[in-house]
Amino acid sequence: MRYLSTRGDERLVSSARAITSGIAPDGGLYVPEQIPVINEEDWASLLTMSYQEQALYILGKYLSDFSIDQCQHCVQGAYHTGNFDHADIAPLFNIRDHIYSLELWHGPTCAFKDMALQILPYLMTTSAAIIGESNDIVILVATSGDTGKAALEGFQNVDGTHIIVFFPEEGVSEVQKRQMVTQQGNNVHVVAVKGNFDDAQNGVKRIFGDVVCQQRMQQRGCKMSSANSINWGRLLPQIIYYLSAYVNLRKNQRIQVGEKINVVVPTGNFGNILAAYYAREMGVPIQRLICASNANNVLTQFIHSGTYDRRRPFHKTISPSMDILISSNLERLLFELSEHDDVAVRGWMEKLSQQGHYQVDDEILQRIQSIFWAGFADDDQTQATIRQVWQQDAYLMDTHTAVAMHVYEDYLHQTGDNTVTVIASTASPFKFASSVAAAIIDSAELVGKNEFDIIKLLALKTEMAIPAGIRDLEQKPVLHHQVCTPQEMASKVFELIEIA
């Protein structure tokens, strides 16, 4: 299996090369030359497999330059009960009737990013070994919250790597900040940037694009790479849990042979739902993919009209991990649905960066609408959904999952489609405790309480255990005190690598 760029670069690369590079030289994203399919005769054994065995099966289909032992090493390192607090890794919970929650937050940082970032360091170091990369890999991350912590947890103490995370000093929640500045590990660095997320993001992009920085890295025996979702190595592990959700339903006789399921995904960058699309193309019996957005509903408009338009106000919502106006992974879907028309894709992406909008043709739009359905929820609807599901089903959802639940209920009302449905649940409710608490606890009980008080109150009221990754946060020693301006980020990187 080789990989090609969505923007037409003629060089096909191996999976090891695609994963270590992150992005193609022409600025495009790597996609597999062909989407592998699940062989008919494999289903019988898939239905008896554990999560780890299913993971091995999926990796084997895409990473043809990895040996079985190498794939095994990656899977065993990532998906075990030392890292995940549930033996199923991604357990499926029946909310009511035919509606299930696929809980993707049982990893160390309590959000779905762990599903990919626990295995990415293994994929990255194995890839480096395969292509004979002798330099250390320096992972640079700019984060608005969840990705930074998940990447730190994944890369901590991984030989041959350094990780440096930049977060906006005033732009992350108290829990998210604490999670990062208390991070242990002999190769981890966390730096607060005096500025907002865009300043941190632009700073990282500048370092990546700077030839002098690249040469200085090389002189120190290092090479830069990225851990965000443009990297194929982050998308691939997300395909596994859509297979595992289907297998789980079949194993427990919740669906019959030949019966399809619907999947609902709360998304911003179009990464998680794109993984579901790949699972569907591989032959996992998925009927409809339901794309759920918050008030930043640029994807809803796109799926309804074929027009992608980022020229709109940016809303700060209570589902902040979906506060995105440029959904980078949509580029991969357009490339697939246009049958690899790199000229068209390049045209749309150039129009997006120059004019802020583009329009796909009717044929592509029809293909999109034959697979996807889209809707959105504002903050009030999100909180109302958390409250209603808690009261009706005694199930507590985080704000992102509640966006998906709201959109699904709209879908159900409008279509009457009673297909068994899996909702991707992307974070523990304790990770976004203030917003969740405000939905189910009387506001008088919340006044004057800080985030940690609210977490404890939420646990008390719901009789739920606080996840380990959040429980001891208040007591953990702060290990990282670095602060810099956006202009100082590059010199900070070299200062930190010298120390290490």
Q: Is 177 a catalytic residue?
A: no
Query: What's the N-to-C CA distance of the chain in angstroms?
Result: 37
Residue of 81, 82, 109, 173 lying closest to 426 (CA atoms): 109
- Tell me, what amino acid is at 220? R
> Which parts of this chain interact with ligand PLP (CB under 6 A)?
111-113, 146, 229, 266-273, 321-322, 400, 426-427
Note whether 292 and 403 are within 8 A (CB).
yes
Q: Which is nearer to ligand PLP, 70 or 147 (CB)?
A: 147
Instruction: Say which DSSP state 193 is in.
Output: E
Q: Closest separation between CB of residue 102 and ligand PLP, Å?
A: 13
- Tell me, what amino acid is at 257? V
Strand-pairing partners, residue 265, are 291
Q: Which is nearer to ligand PLP, 121 or 268 (CB)?
A: 268
Q: Closest separation between CB of residue 99 and ligand PLP, Å?
A: 18
What contacts 208, CB < 8 A, 6 or more positions away? 140, 224, 226
Q: Decide: residue 320, CB within 10 A, 0-12 exposed, 13-18 middle, 19+ buried.
A: buried
Note whether 385 and 398 are within 8 A (CB).
no
Q: Closest separation between CB of residue 283 and ligand PLP, Å?
A: 22
Q: Closest separation between CB of residue 128 and ligand PLP, Å?
A: 24
Q: Which is nearer to ligand PLP, 269 or 317 (CB)?
A: 269
Out of 61, 113, 431, 492, which one is annotated catalytic?
Answer: 113
3-state class (DSSP) for residue 374: strand
Cα(34)–Cα(62) distance, rounded to whole angstroms? 10
Q: Closest separation between CB of residue 329 and ligand PLP, Å?
A: 7
Residue of 443, 75, 447 lying closest to 236 (CA atoms): 75
- Alpha-helical (H) ranges within 118-196 are 120-130, 146-155, 174-181
Q: Which is nearer to ligand PLP, 137 or 292 (CB)?
A: 292
Q: Which is nearer to ligand PLP, 125 or 238 (CB)?
A: 238
Active site members: 113
